[in-house]
Structure 1
Amino acid sequence: MNKTVNINLANTLFHIDDDAYNKLRRYLESIRRSFSGTKGSDEIIADIEARIAELFLEKMENERQVITHKEVDQVIEVMGQPEDYMVDEDIFEDEPKKSYAQPTARAKKLYRDIDHKYIGGVCAGLEHYLGIDSLWVRLIFILLAIFTSGFGLIAYILLWILVPEAATTSQKLDMRGEPINISNIERKVKEGFDDVAEKVKNVDYDKVGNKVKSSSKTFFDTIGDIILFLFKIFGKFIGILLIIIGASTLVGLFFGLFTVGMFDAIHVPGIDFYEIVNTSGAPVWLVSILLFFAVGIPFFFLLYLGLKILVNNLKSIGNIAKFALLGLWLISVGTLIVFGIRQAAEFSYTGSVNNKKELAMQVPTDTLIIKMKDSDTDYSRDEIHFGRMTFGYDENDNRILMSDEIDIKIKKSDTDSISINVRKDADGSSTLAARDRAKNIAFGYTLKGNTIILDKYLTTDTSNKARNQEVTITIYVPETKTVYFDETTNRYIGRGIKNDQGYYRTGLVEHYWTMDEDGELKCLDCPELDDDEEDGNGKIIINEDGIDIDIKDNQDSFEMKINEDGIKVKAKEKK
């Protein structure tokens, strides 16, 4: 068991092992002794302590980690010992100076060089970072500002705001890519003092006095402060906006996660409908959690970014937490993509099964009547829909899936008898799976006298799930046979039934039709058109099924105009 102590190093609190603390204390004391009596010794020591604190923070995985001998030794190795750099020139004047291996150059970091600035120090900082003379950098910004509609000015202002200034000795060394050790810190501090001494020696006191009297700041400094102030306000606004967006989204997701999970647990109506849509096999609570992480983690980082903008000294969540959240997000998104692919695959293929049967009417010469069965007395339905699919209950109160996706078509028979073909369609991940699902569709009809009574709904077990199940009934009638569509078939008549009136689907209802030799229905009781109507411009039928534009035989085209007065459709006659 080792004793630990708390230390304040460069205004940062660290937990350090007692033995490591003693070693660090002796190291700092030896540095103080080495620089005692040196110009700027206090600033040198303060910069050294700040650099040591930075190195400790880089090595810590969390704020409660204890600094040990290992970390102290690594820091001393980076910073070096004072005796490696201090040379008493009076004693060793006649001896050749020893050369010490200097650490390799570090990667440069971008800072604003405020010591050599004209406005904000951006160009001077880019000189160090890019290795290009600041004069050329300034010319580039000016040319960009002139020839790109102000882009150069905008870029300069953004860099001024976003790039920090090199204020400390460590930052100035980082800007130049020089190792931050005792030797370089000492050199930079001494250079600063020498520069100050040189400026004091060569200063024109009268000129400075007049300048101080006139203004304490340069014009550019004042403008810079105003711009920075405005952008800080804008930045705070952006931070507040990010916090509101992130927090509200997370709260909504959190509420939705537990609401869906709770509803699924107590089987609230509607939640279980997910099961007939879902093909991935993933329970609703798992999908809810994956969606929570996939959507919530990006918005959490938006919230965190907003807090970082508003709170200057906000603690970092740490690299472990960041990478853990990133990994969790990637897993959630990847899993949802897999579920989505499996879901889409269930609709990749369509399978069909056909059942054709010849009907024997009691009186073949009678009119064939087509009507729908009143199935509402046989089934009870829920009000929850997935397209045209809904839950229902059969006469034994077993839960089933129901749909009115039924189309009735009329075609000319090749024989003298009436026949009916029932085609059942469904989707699946393969043709075989789709055909199996289609076979499980229940649909029936009966022939009573001269009337074909069709089921109003197709049904299937809930285990077959909603996969675009539909039924198409094709009735084949011989030539000259009369057909009558009962009003109950109004919404079930399919598209493309050829008739001499040009009626579209619902227009066929409650009229008597006879099949001609060309497979077209001829109306027996439709109102006759007058001469003007027959020679007119055709018809446009607009109903719940869409828009049908009928062009008569003596017309080959039409024109449509849409303007502020509305829509105008005019058929052009053949020349």
Structure 2
Amino acid sequence: MNKTISINLGGFFFHIDEDAYQKLTRYFDAVKRSLSPEGRDEIIKDIESRIAELFQERIKSEKQVISLTEIDEVIAIMGQPEDYKIDEETSYSNDSSYTSTTKTGKSRKLFRDKDNAILGGVSAGFGHYFNIDPLWIRLGIVLIVVAGVGSPILIYLLLWIIVPEAVTTSQKLEMRGEPINISNIEKKVKEGIHEITDKINNLDHQKIANSARSGANQIGSTLSDLFLGFFKIVAKIVGVFIIFFSALVLLGIIVSSLFMIFSSSLPNSYIFNNIHTPLDFDVPMWIQGLLLLFSVGIPLFFLLILGLKLLVNNMKSIGNYFKYSLLAVWIVSIIGITYLGIQQATAIGFEGKTVKKEQLFIQPTDTLHVRMQYNNYYAKSIHERENHKYRHDENNKEIIYSTKVRVHFLKTEENQPFIQVERSATGKSHKEATSRSEKIRYNFDIQGNRVNLDNYFITAFGNKFRDQEVNIYIYLPKGTYVQPDESVQDYDWSDNDFFNLHYSSDDYVYKVEDNKVICTNCPEEENDDDDDDSERVENMSIRLNNKELKINVTEDKLSIETE
């Protein structure tokens, strides 16, 4: 059993076993011996930082111990010291031209290049990224400013804030797309040393240019700090809002999902009457709970992580394996919801109905009385409304009970009034929907000029909830008198432009006219709206030859009096 050693490498702490530690130590010693004294410390520091990054990519947890396997992988990437030999005459050229820079075809990362910057190094960084001379980028910015198109200055400042600066040797190599190994690190550091030496030798010649550049950089840095500070404050505020919103909603989703998952053991009556979901109850409730948790909870979790990152600096990542696993689970849940949603839409895609028509044999002078009645086995009041509830009938059979009953008063050109009862439901086909509508049990009773309508209907529980409803159409010819009972008020779905049922009393009698139904005994203020579309003659008086004629108009007679 090997001992475990804790080391600090590039500012990170690692646990490494003794054999791996000894091999890593020998590797650093060999690197030091292969380097010339010039810039050795800086090269070693950059190599340590790069190896620390490679270790970070390979460990899955803070407690993982680095073994010889990880050491061998890192050395394979960095290379052995004896494999490289820097050509001192050709490697450290003073030419900083972009066209002479050798590219390896490796993928580049976007950084700001302050070494070749005029202001913030944004153009130079994009020049490295696209492998073009930054002069063309700068010329493009100038042309856009002159043309007055867009806001290139604001965009430049935003990029100055957002794009990080290439500070370390590893970042400068990534910016140029060069492999980060010992040879390139040593080469880059020595190039920097030679550039500093050249600048010192040419200090007198560049003094004015450097002063101007320094002033521009200082102004740019100040503006950058101001913008950066402002956006940091905004980011913190947004982060707090995101955390509060996502945490609150995520907690609600978790509680709801757990309730649905564990409610599978509850009786069907409780689930049907108290839990309402967009999906069919044929889908087990625990599956619906899991789909809700994964499809909605996972995006909220990532939103919570985003808020925490905006609020907490240098927050450690949750790891790529965990992120990609959650993403895969989320995609599977979305596919599942889509499939079940299509199945549900197909199950209610067609509507079918069953129609029953019966004549109402009443005299023209009779008044038709309409009332709703309830079954005291299912309800204790006519005002109790239940929309598709699980119940047991008098024979203890499972049924669906509903008061989704609607009454419509309409006009007919026939001589006799009649009633038409339409039972409707939905299904995956017209035949299935019609068959399901036929299984709706609804009763009504006609006794002379009185119509008694049930305020409910029932159907077998096996018929499922498929938008079952009952619509009752009462067709009345012109001149018919009708008196709805107070019980009809909650079930009346007539067009108000034709029949405006007054809820203030159930003693009112209505009469069917040409275009609408009017109330014959309503108070004047309630009947005004009904009389708007009918001709109405007020009582009046006329004076002729010193005699006054009084004309009195009532509903069915006209009288004239003289004084």
TM-score if structure 2 supplies the norm length? 0.76
Residue 447 (str. 1) matches residue 446 (str. 2):
yes
Q: Unpaired runs of 5+ in structure 2?
A: 90-101, 523-527, 536-563
Aligned-pair CA distance for 1:2: 5.4
Percent identical residues: 39
User: Which residue does the alignment assign to 2:53?
Assistant: 54
Name the CA distance, whole Å, in 2 between partners of 1:39 and 1:514.
109
Contact 1:352–1:425, Cα closer than 8 Å, also in 2:
yes
The within-5 A match list for 1:297-312 is 297-312=298-313
Gap change, CA 1:71 and 1:524, over 3 Å in 2: closer
| 1:3-26 Cα shifts (integer Å, max 9, x gaps) | 544333212233334433333222
1:73 aligns with 2:68: no
Letter in 1 for 2:68: H
Question: Displacement of 1:145 after TM fit?
Answer: 4.4
Cα gap change, 1:495/1:246 in structure 2, threshold over 3 Å: closer, same or farther? closer
2:184 corresponds in structure 1 to 184
Cα shift readout 1:120-171 (whole Å, capped 9, x = no counterpart): 1111111111123222212323444454565212221221122111101111
Quote the Cα distance in structure 1 between the aligned partners of 2:511 and 2:368.
10
Structure 1 position 326, deviation (Å): 0.5
Match of 1:153 in 2: 153
1:275 and 1:440 map into 2 onto residues whose CA distance is: 23
Q: 1:219 to 1:380 in 2, by over 3 A?
A: same
User: Distance in 1 between the 2:469 and 2:206 partners?
Assistant: 98
Query: Which residue does 1:506 correspond to in 2?
Result: 501
Structural mapping, 1:522-541, within 5 Å: 526=520
Contact 2:388–2:401 under 8 Å retained in 1: yes
Aligned partner of 2:32 in structure 1 is 32
What is the correspondence of 1:428-443 to structure 2 with a 5 Å cutoff? 428-443=427-442
Aligned partners of 1:265 and 1:385: how far apart in 2? 28
C-alpha displacement at 1:320, in angstroms? 0.9
CA distance in structure 1 between the aligned counterparts of 2:342 and 2:137, rounded to whole angstroms: 52
| Cα distance, 1:403 vs structure 2 | 1.8
- Aligned: 1:137 with 2:137: yes
Would the alpha carbon gap of residues 351 and 9 (structure 1) be closer, same or farther in structure 2, given more than 3 Å must change?
A: same
Task: Write the deviation string for residues 479-504 of structure 1: whole angstroms up to 9, x where unpaired.
Answer: 8995634335456566579xxxx842
CA contact 1:372–1:456 (8 Å) conserved in 2: no
Rounded to whole Å, the distance in 2 between the matches of 1:107 and 1:273 is 57
Give yes or no for the alignment of 1:245 onto 2:245. Answer: yes
Q: Equivalents in 1 of 2:410, 2:346: separation in Å? A: 34
Tell me the alpha carbon deviations over residues 20-58 of structure 1, each in whole angstroms, 9 at most, x when there is no partner: 3333222211111111x4201011111112222222333
Alignment of 1:190-269 (within 5 A): 190-204=190-204, 218-258=218-258
Tell me, yes or no, if structure 1 residue 457 matches structure 2 residue 452.
no
State how far apart, in whole Å, the 2-side matches of 1:397 and 1:52 are: 76
- The answer to whether the Cα contact below 8 Å between 1:427 and 1:467 also exists between their aligned partners in 2 is yes
Q: CA deviation at 1:476?
A: 7.2
Deviation by residue 1:422-465 (Cα, 9 ceiling, x = unmatched): 33111122222212221221111223344332222223344434
Greater Cα shift, 241-250 or 255-264: 255-264
- In structure 2, how many angstroms separate the alpha carbons of the residues matched to 1:218 and 1:476? 88
RMSD over aligned Cα atoms: 4.5
Contact 2:126 2:134 in 1 (8 A): yes
Question: Contact 1:277–1:465 (CA<8 Å) still a contact in 2?
Answer: no
User: Which residue number corresponds to residue 482 of structure 2?
Assistant: 484
| Compared CA separation, residues 79 and 316, structure 1 to 2 (3 A) | same
Q: 1:170 touches 1:180 (CA, 8 Å); kept in 2?
A: yes
1:331 — aligned with what?
332
Return the letter of the residue paired with 2:352: G
Cα distance change on mapping 1:164 and 1:217 into 2, 3 Å? closer
Structure 1 residue 316 displacement after superposition: 1.6
* Whole-Å separation in 2 of the counterparts to 1:32 and 1:237: 49
Distance in 2 (CA, whole Å) between partners of 1:524 and 1:164 is 79
Paired residue type of 1:58:
E
Amino acid at match of 1:372: R
Q: Which amino acid in the other structure matches residue 456 of structure 2?
A: Y
Checking the alignment, whether the CA contact within 8 Å between 2:279 and 2:341 is kept in structure 1 is no
For the structure 1 residues 344 and 364, does the alpha-carbon distance in structure 2 shift closer, same or farther, using more than 3 Å as the test?
Answer: same
Q: Identify the range of structure 1 (146-155 vs 327-336) with the bigger mean alpha-carbon deviation.
A: 146-155
C-alpha contact 1:274 1:284 (8 A) present in aligned 2: no
Q: What is the Cα deviation at residue 82 of structure 1?
A: 1.5
State the TM-score, normalizing by the size of structure 1. 0.74
Please give the secondary structure, in 1, of the residue aligned with 2:245: helix
Structure 1 residues 379-418: aligned runs within 5 Å:
379-380=378-379, 389=388, 400-408=400-408
CA contact (8 A) 2:422 2:472 kept: yes
Instruction: State the number of aligned residues.
Output: 511
